[in-house]
Structure 1
């Protein structure tokens, strides 16, 4: 797997969806995603940097102190990445939510992103 796929997937989780600072998050969005990125989650499809940034900001405001952490390694191929994650309290305790992200990568940026929530393991 290309190192770029791993960096993009980790950046997606940690530098965008885990980032509380709006300026750092926006800089990461511009570096990690295509300008017309399509993000699909259970709420629908968001297109473009502004829409992704707005949803990430709203998500952060709703999470309180919860943080995203990787739930394993990045898996991928050239042009494709998959990363599982958990949403946990600051102490790293029991996951409150789990899921995974799948990305289609074109021209060294994420062009399509899919987020799927999964049952939390007990």
Structure 2
């Protein structure tokens, strides 16, 4: 099955990086990533669906109670790429960090994820 870019961005954020259960994370990854997907982030490059799932689990374990909140609807460019801006932190507390995910899709699955950390938005 293939998915639209907005769905891929949202599922990646919540079902891969926001998911605490490894089996559910792996099942979602089978649906939304190509087998040779690549994750680019400030600390390095991770290649392959299984490795992305592993890294997502490591990141999730560092902040098991954090939740991701999308700041605005995903933006899609030409039906092949898109971005979503988000914040993350403990429920009910100010966000601890912010970022933007950019994905490039092939045949309705994520082929590349690019993670950029952003400055935290100003709080009122």
User: What is the TM-score normalised by the length of structure 2?
Assistant: 0.91
- 1:112 Cα deviation from its structure 2 partner: 0.7
User: The residue matched to 1:64 in structure 2 has which SS?
Assistant: coil
Structure 1 gaps of 5+ residues are none
Separation in 2 of the partners of 1:24 and 1:34? 17
Separation in 1 of the partners of 2:64 and 2:9? 23
Corresponding residue of 1:115: 115
- 1:64 Cα deviation from its structure 2 partner: 3.0
Please state if 1:9 is matched with 2:46.
Answer: no
- 1:99 Cα deviation from its structure 2 partner: 0.5
Corresponding residue of 2:56: 56
User: The residue matched to 1:110 in structure 2 has which SS?
Assistant: strand
Q: In angstroms, what is the RMSD of aligned CA positions?
A: 1.1
Question: CA offsets, 1:68-120, max 9 Å, x none?
Answer: 111111001210110001002122x3111000000011111010110000111
Corresponding residue of 2:22: 22
Number of residues paired by the alignment?
119
Structure 2 gaps of 5+ residues are none
Structure 1 residue runs of 4+, over 3 Å off? none
Question: CA offsets, 1:23-50, max 9 Å, x none?
Answer: 1100011111110001000111100011
